[in-house]
Amino acid sequence: MNFDRLKTYHSIASKEALTCMEIVSQALPLDQKDVLLDVGCGPGVLTILLSKRVGKVTAFDVSSEMIAEAKKNNQAENITYNIGDATKLTTYKEYSQAFEKVIAYYCLHWMKDFKAALQGIYQSLKPGGQCFLNMAQENPDIFDTLKALGSYTSPKWEHFMKGYKHAYYLFKGNANDFKEVLFDIGFKDVNCRLVVKKLLLTFDEAKAHYPNFMNQLRRFPEDKQKEYIEEAVKYVMDTGFKDDEGYKMTCSLIVAVARK
């Protein structure tokens, strides 16, 4: 996430959070007695909604900037914000068997060692506790688009992009393969399914939205960013994702609910 553009992203994410909350609540029963862990909370837009459905929420993210933004967005008495690395969850003894529910929404694909995060989620659950997870599946559409946006260069931009690498760690298998990963960790009552989301954006919408995920913009002088964004977005839209209606993309997500 490009923190410099977070305020632009927040208005989009707040609307998306309502849809996310509906998906979570349909898949995972939430109770006012639950103590919940929100893994990779980002700016806290989903955390706010979760806090209204459970007793207590611990929300953490590896980015201190994200936690600062989340705190600014909501200071409900039943939310505790912490800075933490999900891949090191097993080392946080205060989290061990501390939660009835754990949510990891749109965050696992940012982690190179996502299996370590899953092991930590398992350890943090109380016996019988449940988690809701989603994991982006490797596919030739939206996440390839994001990777292209995150690595786009040309001779005039090489100076700014030299040595930069923007990585997504997408799951290479299918829903059954992800289910086996969860079983191997120790989860039971595992339910995995593939959810396909279709998006349609105009060129102007793409220019407004996707720079939020272009972390390389921090390398560019402010007076060069607009030109670079225009060129990068045009590049990905001209490589096979565009038709008369706009910019079409498909996002494949593996959604899982599992019990300890």
Report whether 105 contacts 44 (CB < 8 A).
no
Place of tokens 């209204």: 52
**Structural domain boundaries of the chain?**
3-259
Please give the CATH number for the structural domain made up of 3-259.
3.40.50.150
Alpha-carbon span 221 to 219, nearest angstrom = 7
Alpha-carbon span 68 to 43, nearest angstrom = 8
**DSSP characters over 210-239:** GGGG-GGGGGS-HHHHHHHHHHHHHHHHTT
Q: What is the DSSP letter of 33?
A: T
Q: Which two tokens stand for residue 99?
A: 């939660």
Report whether 133 contacts 108 (CB < 8 A).
yes
Q: Work out the widest C-alpha separation in the chain, in whole angstroms.
A: 58
Helix (H, G, I), strand (E, B) or coil at 161: helix
In the chain, DSSP finds a helix count (H) and a strand count (E) of: 9, 8
What tens-digit pLDDT sequence spans the chain (260 residues)? Answer: 555 555 555 555 556 677 788 888 889 999 999 999 999 998 898 999 999 999 999 999 998 988 998 998 888 999 999 999 999 999 999 999 999 999 999 899 889 899 999 999 999 999 999 999 999 887 656 666 777 788 889 999 999 999 988 777 888 899 999 999 999 999 999 999 998 877 777 778 778 777 877 889 989 999 999 999 999 988 877 765 556 666 666 778 899 999 99
Helix (H, G, I), strand (E, B) or coil at 35: strand
4's CB contacts (< 8 A; 6+ apart) are 217, 218
| pTM of the full structure | 0.85
Alpha-carbon torsion (47, 48, 54, 57), positive or negative: positive
Angle at 61 between CA 153 and CA 15, to 5 degrees: 75
Report whether 61 contacts 40 (CB < 8 A).
yes
